Structure 1
């Protein structure tokens, strides 16, 4: 590999030991969250197709909240606008930390997941538009197959790829985080119909208060929560989807403290603290409850399925997730490798990239959210979207399972090498072969 701005490391370097340990902790929490998400989705589907389906719809339609700032909302909307704001807050914290203090602050490491995420948005969107063609109103759903659900994907990995190398797991997580940022940008730009500039401008005031508090290292929830809720409520009232507030608040949180010489408070900032506190809430409560209140759709028997998958929108989503997503990610990754003259790390092959790219076609949480925004909650097309997202995600999971299981023996050997600790110092030996990587 020739020398350039991207350095001389392999395409999927395992990174530093502190970062690998932090990523492993995140993945454990997200895997548990993925299991809860799947449980919520299955419960929703069973309930919506049971004799008690009326109770399910009544629950979703139950309205709570004050009328001020249009906050008298049904529970399904509260789940999409409120609970997913927590999800995007955590995603924003993770993204900022990765690019400010994590391994991705290095250009050569950031290039691969960022390029892959962009490819994983462009390709499925293009395929979706090609398939839906001139179908009336279908074009508004172009962003539905562009999302990757990291919790769902990790739940699948827990079953089929428990020995997947650290570098590939880190790539999947980072890809999904960048993907989430792209998704929230798409929601803010393309799915905002009516913008109330006054409310949006007013949101800057509590956001500034929140930013000032966290920069002074304030952690007390009773001081931070009022300003955070005010930001969320005003963004919601502005017409911009309220989940954008989660990202704005996350980006205001400092990643590192002052690094001034002799500063006793120098070191990690509040981002890591908040991520540790809120990730269990996001993965264990927010996303599973959203799945429970959003995934339930009456199948209507064989005729209902035939009707749903006769809709070009449903076909476009399934093809986008199962073909467009992996093609976009794999091709973008290959192009980065060609441009930087990089090589895959020892033991890895391009079939591993393909398997991971197919796994990234599992789009659930954000895909369902965009479907509701594109076609309207409870509409016929929204139901078709839900069936297509579920079907596409299931197909992607099965295809990825086949490919990754074929490589399981190779992954097991890499895993044994990555976890070997012959000197018993609680740091795997592989991270001590390069000076400065053992923290």
Structure 2
């Protein structure tokens, strides 16, 4: 029997990325672009350019077509439109992990899944407690400190911990993926207003077409890649428009579409060329370089009103709830849940992990940013001072979480690096997952 050529399997789908595309998809450059967009937004919003910045952000594009309303501000186009691509990729990653990844194994996934639940519940509870005596309506922001930003968190961990055990990054990725699933569910259930079931019913038609094309015509898709793209893109756009007008947040359309894409394991050639991996491979550079940074640029621009305005924001129960929830709540929720689970059940951490490492990793998970900013926008009206207080809380908490993580992980990283040198480790020993955490 003739063995099929790997070139046939790869034809037209899993192309090599341009070096620039490859660069922006890496953890540290992707996080750097997010940080740059945030800094620029804050500079624009708090200097003489503020009037231009806010007029551009609030300018409306689009219009109405019968019952279809597409009259959105540029800021909303970024939050509802561009961020849908980010959520589509999050959905692809979720399904891959549940079908062929670590989340398909209950024994491997139990602790990080439970830790993710604790890392959502405790910050939300802290926020609610802090805001018991807060302004009327402040409690609606309870989900703001619940989210972890995968892009920033992985970038910070990569920057701080080149010699940390590989299992720590795996734990953080698994936790962040489950965290995303919970955040998506929260947005779909608790931040849906004026539900219009007719539009949701109509969305079943393009969803069915998307499923049929991706599942029943996958082989044809690979042979006629650009023709299939010409069909998939309009179908996805129609689905997004119907979700937008249904009252369900439009980013959920990206997740639903992603869940319909088939997932396959690695081929005999060791390459990932299932349709799910192909779509992720193609869209990841655009998401990392354009979609998420542009959203951050239009979302993170808060006019703090100088030092006095910043102090007023920090003293508000909304910002305090977000800051304490993300910085302290994530550590207590993630580490506390993991500790209790390993003590009360047969579940165990990876042998390479130590509790100081877990505390540092949990601090990294306190970087909320992208999804937390989105939930801030969904929680409060832009004209409400609590809207800006919440965003100041998110930005402050993310910076503090990164500093706490650095204070813990930098010394740990030096310790692991020293042990590697003392053990005479080969350059690739860390990549093979050697346990440098013994007695750590």
Regarding TM over 0.5, the answer is yes
Q: Which SS does the other structure have where 1:298 is aligned?
A: coil
Paired residues of 2:116 and 2:179 also in contact (CA < 8 A): yes
Which of 267, 282, 289 is residue 284 of structure 1 equivalent to? 289
Which of 54, 57, 63 is residue 57 of structure 1 equivalent to? 54
For 1:420 and 1:172, how far apart are their aligned partners in 2? 24
Q: Structure 1 341/98 Cα, relative in aligned 2: closer, same or farther at 3 Å?
A: same
Which of 318, 332, 346 is residue 327 of structure 1 equivalent to? 332
Counterpart for residue 210 of structure 1: 210
Counterpart for residue 409 of structure 1: 414
Counterpart for residue 244 of structure 1: 252
Q: Structure 1 54/101 Cα, relative in aligned 2: closer, same or farther at 3 Å?
A: same
Which of 35, 44, 47 is residue 47 of structure 1 equivalent to? 44
For 1:314 and 1:277, how far apart are their aligned partners in 2? 38
Q: Structure 1 428/376 Cα, relative in aligned 2: closer, same or farther at 3 Å?
A: closer
For 2:265 and 2:157, how far apart are their aligned partners in 1? 35
- Pair 1:256-2:264 in alignment: yes
Counterpart for residue 31 of structure 1: 28
For 1:34 and 1:414, how far apart are their aligned partners in 2? 29
Moved more, 67-76 or 122-131: 67-76
Paired residues of 2:207 and 2:239 also in contact (CA < 8 A): yes
Moved more, 161-170 or 196-205: 161-170
For 2:46 and 2:145, how far apart are their aligned partners in 1? 25
Matches within 5 A, 1:70-109: 70-109=69-108
Paired residues of 1:364 and 1:389 also in contact (CA < 8 A): yes
Counterpart for residue 159 of structure 1: 159
Q: Structure 1 74/338 Cα, relative in aligned 2: closer, same or farther at 3 Å?
A: same
Which of 230, 233, 248 is residue 241 of structure 2 equivalent to? 233
What is the Cα deviation at residue 318 of structure 1?
0.6
Cα deviation, 1:298-343, whole Å, max 9, x if unaligned, reads: 1111221222122211111111011111111111111332244344
For 2:230 and 2:427, how far apart are their aligned partners in 1? 45
Counterpart for residue 296 of structure 1: 301
TM-score for the superposition, normalised by structure 2? 0.85
Q: Which SS does the other structure have where 2:315 is aligned?
A: coil
For 1:401 and 1:334, how far apart are their aligned partners in 2? 22
Cα deviation, 1:165-209, whole Å, max 9, x if unaligned, reads: 221111112211111111111011001111000001111110110
Cα deviation, 1:195-253, whole Å, max 9, x if unaligned, reads: 00000111111011001101121242101011101111000000000000010000000
Counterpart for residue 229 of structure 2: 221
For 1:419 and 1:45, how far apart are their aligned partners in 2? 45
Paired residues of 2:95 and 2:263 also in contact (CA < 8 A): yes
Paired residues of 2:188 and 2:252 also in contact (CA < 8 A): yes
